[in-house]
A and B are shown apart, each in its own frame.
Chain A
C-alpha cells in the first residue's frame, strides 16, 4: 500500500535549485534510504516531507491525503533530528511524553505508550535522567523513543547515527533495523554512508547535486548501477571507457601472472591486506588508470609490488553505465 507520494517536488533556495523535480513513491512498512554526499539535498527533502520547508512546486501525499500545505504539527509523522533536539529541561520520560500531551492522549494511555517506547529502546534504567546525563548513543535512543511513542505513520530519520563512533553505529544499525521490522512503520532514512544504506534498506535512492541518480534495492544498485555516480559511490568499482562506458567490480576481476594472453596488462602498484581478502592495485600502462582487484583468502600465489601482471574478466560481469 502506498504511504508517501512525492509528485514533481522541487525546491529552490533564493532562486537556486537545491532539489530538482523529484517523484517518488514509498510503500507502507518500507525502509527507504536517501543516500548521497553532504549537500546533495537529503535533509531538504526530509524537511519538506515533515512540513518544515514548503516545496517550490509539486505535491506531497501522506497516506492518500495531500499534506503539502499542512504545518508540521498537523502531519501524522515524526522526524528524528540530526542532532536529536532533545528538550534539555525535561527528563527522558518527559521528553517522550511531550508529543502525547500535545495530542491530548488520555493519561492512562500516555503511561502505557511511554512504557512501551522506553522498553523498545532499552531506556528503562534511564527514564528519570536529563539529556545532558546521557551518552550520545543513549540520547539517540531517546530521540527515537520520543518519535515512536506518537505511533506515527512514517518515521523520518536524518543521519540519526552520524554523530556516533563506528562501533556504536554498527550496533545501533542492527537495532534500528530490528525495531523497524517489529513496528512495521515506514522509515525514510537519510545517510551519506553507503555501507549503512546497503545494510539497512529495502530500497535506496541515490542522490547527487539535488538529482536522483538511481532508485533500487541494495542488490540492484550494487550489481546494476545505472550512472557513473551510482557505480562509484556505492562500493568500489573499476570504470573503463571503451566504445562505451562500463564498470567491473574488483571481485569480478582476475589477475594472471603471465600478462601476454590477458585482456589488459599492468604493474602491481600496491598490495592492501584487509583480513579475509586482499587487494591488488594494478596500474595499466596504456590507460593511465588503476584497477583494483579483490582476491579472496583462497588465493595463495605470491604477488610483489612492481611485478608485471595481466587482468581478465568475463564479458557478463561488465555493467554498462550511462547512455
Chain B
C-alpha cells in the first residue's frame, strides 16, 4: 500500500495542482457576486446561472455547439481517407506526409490565421482571382462570416484528427485483413467490419480533441468571425478580461465543461451503438 502510494503521489499532486484546484476555484466563483469595480464578493447566488438562460446567450451557446460538431464532422470526413492513404504509403512517403501535416505547427498560429484574412477579405487573393477570371463581378463577403470561422477551425484542427487516426491504423494488425479476405470479405467489407471498428479509438481521440479545442477556441473566431460570429469562448474570455465579471465567466465555463462532457459521452455511445446496429443489420 505505502509503496504504491509513493509512486502515485506525484500524479495525485500534479492533478490536484493543475486540475482539481482550478476547477474547484472556478465552480466556487461561479456561485459568487461581484461589486461595481469587478471584485469578487464572497456571497452565494444563483444569478450567474440564471443569466445564462437569456435568448442571446442561448443562441450563442447553440452556435458554438453547432460549429464544434460541424468542425469535428468535417475534420473526420477529410482526415480518415487522408490517414488511410498515408498509412498505406511506403515508409518513406509516410514520413514525408507526417512532416507535411505537422509543418503548420512550426509557424506561429496567429500568423497562419491572419494569412486567411489576406486570402478571404474583400480585396483578398480569392476574390481578386474570381473577379479576374470573370466568375463574379462583385467581391464576395467571405471574411467575418460563420463560414470563414468554420474554415479556420477545420484548417487549424485537422492535424489533431489525422494523427490519432493514423496511429490507430498503424497499430492495427494487418493480418486481420488477410483473415477477412480469406473468409470471403471484399475490400469494402473488410474495411467496414475490421478496419473501422479496429480504429475506433483513433476516431474517438481525434473527435474529442477537435471538439474540445474548437469549442474553447476564441482567437480564430475573433480574427475570422469579427463581431458577427461570437462564440461561447469569446463571451467567456470577455467576462474575464473585458467586462471583469469573473463570477459570470466562471458560470459559463462550468456550463461549457458540463455540456462538453455530455456531448462526448453521447458521441461515444452513438459510435458504439451505430457500429453494433450496423453489425446486426448490414452484413
Looking across the interface, which residue of chain B has its beta carbon closest to that of A86?
Answer: B179
- Nearest chain B CB to A60's CB is how many angstroms away? 15
Determine if B182 is an interface residue (Cβ-Cβ < 8 Å): yes
Given the interface contacts A98-B193, A101-B283, does A85 sit within 8 Å of B179 by beta carbon?
Answer: yes
Which of the candidate stretches A70-78, A169-177, A187-195, A210-218 sits at the interface with the other chain? A70-78
B175 touches A81 (CB 8 A): yes
**A102 and B184 within 8 A (CB):** yes
Given A88-B198, A98-B193, A101-B283, the answer on whether A73 and B179 have CB atoms closer than 8 Å is no
- List, in ascending order, chain A residues with CB within 8 A of B180's CB: 87, 98, 102
B194 adjacent to chain A (CB < 8 Å): yes
Contact of B184 among A52, A88, A94, A99 (CB under 8 A): A99
How far is A103 from B180 in the complex, measured between Cα atoms in Å?
12
CB-CB under 8 A from A94, the residues of chain B are 279
Shortest distance between the CB of B44 and any CB in chain A (Å): 49
Q: Please determine whether A85 and B175 come into contact, CB atoms closer than 8 angstroms.
A: yes
Contact of B182 with A50 in the complex, beta carbons under 8 Å = yes
Q: Does B56 contact A (CB under 8 A)?
A: no
Known: A87-B176, A89-B198. A79 touches B185 (CB 8 A): no
Query: B-side binding surface: helix, strand, loop or mixed?
Result: helix
Bitwise interface map of A from 61 to 105 toward B, beta carbon under 8 Å scored 1, else 0: 000000000011100001101010111110000100011011100
User: Is B173's beta carbon under 8 Å from chain A?
Assistant: yes
Q: Is B47 an interface residue (CB 8 A)?
A: no
CA distance A260 to B249 in the complex (A): 108
Instruction: Known A85-B175, A101-B283; judge A79-B198 contact (CB<8 A).
Output: no
Give CA–CA (A75, B173) in the complex, Å.
23
Q: Does A121 sit at the interface, judged by CB under 8 A?
A: no
The number of residues on chain A lying at the interface, defined by a beta carbon within 8 Å of a beta carbon of chain B, is: 22
Whether the pair A83, B175 counts as a contact (CB closer than 8 A) is yes
Among B179, B181, B182, B184, find the residue whose CB has the most chain A CB atoms closer than 10 A: B182
Contact B182 A72 (CB under 8 A): yes
Complex Cα distance A101/B184, Å? 9
- Cα(A102)–Cα(B279), bound, Å: 12
- Bound Cα distance from A94 to B189, whole angstroms: 15
How far apart are B199's CB and chain A's nearest CB, in angstroms? Answer: 11
Interchain CB contact under 8 A, B173 and A73? no
A102 touches B198 (CB 8 A): no
Query: Does A146 belong to the interface (CB within 8 Å)?
Result: yes
List the A side residues contacting B178 at CB < 8 Å.
52, 72, 79, 81, 85
A81-B175, A102-B189 as given contacts; A71 in contact with B198, CB under 8 Å: no
User: A146 and B183: CB pair below 8 A?
Assistant: yes
How many Å lie between the Cα of A270 and that of B137 in the bound state?
101
Determine if A150 is an interface residue (Cβ-Cβ < 8 Å).
yes
Nearest-Cβ distance from residue B6 to partner chain A, whole angstroms: 31
* CB under 8 Å from chain A, chain B span 161-192: 173, 175-176, 178-186, 189
- B183/A98 in contact, CB under 8 A: yes
For A89, the chain B residues whose CB sits under 8 A away are 197-198
A73 to B184, CA, bound (A): 4
- Within the complex, what minimum Cβ distance (angstroms) separates A141 from chain B? 16
CA distance A50 to B182 in the complex (A): 7
A41 to chain B, nearest CB (A): 18
Contacting residues, chain B, for A98 (C-beta < 8 A): 180, 183, 185, 193
- Counting chain B CB atoms within 10 Å of each CB, which of A79, A89, A146 scores highest? A89
Contacts of A83 in B (CB 8 A): 175
Q: What is the CB-to-nearest-CB distance from B279 to chain A, in angstroms, rounded to a whole number? A: 8
Kindly provide the distance from the CB of A48 to the nearest chain B CB, expressed in whole angstroms: 13
Task: State the A residues within 8 Å of B (CB).
Answer: 50, 52, 71-73, 78-79, 81, 83, 85-89, 94, 98-99, 101-103, 146, 150
- B residues contacting A by CB (< 8 A) are 173, 175-176, 178-186, 189, 193-194, 197-198, 279, 283
Could you list some 9 contacts between A and B, CB below 8 A? Answer: A71-B181, A72-B178, A72-B181, A79-B179, A87-B179, A88-B198, A89-B198, A102-B283, A146-B183
Q: Which 8 A-B pairs have the closest CB atoms?
A: A99-B183, A102-B184, A85-B179, A101-B283, A85-B175, A72-B181, A73-B184, A89-B197
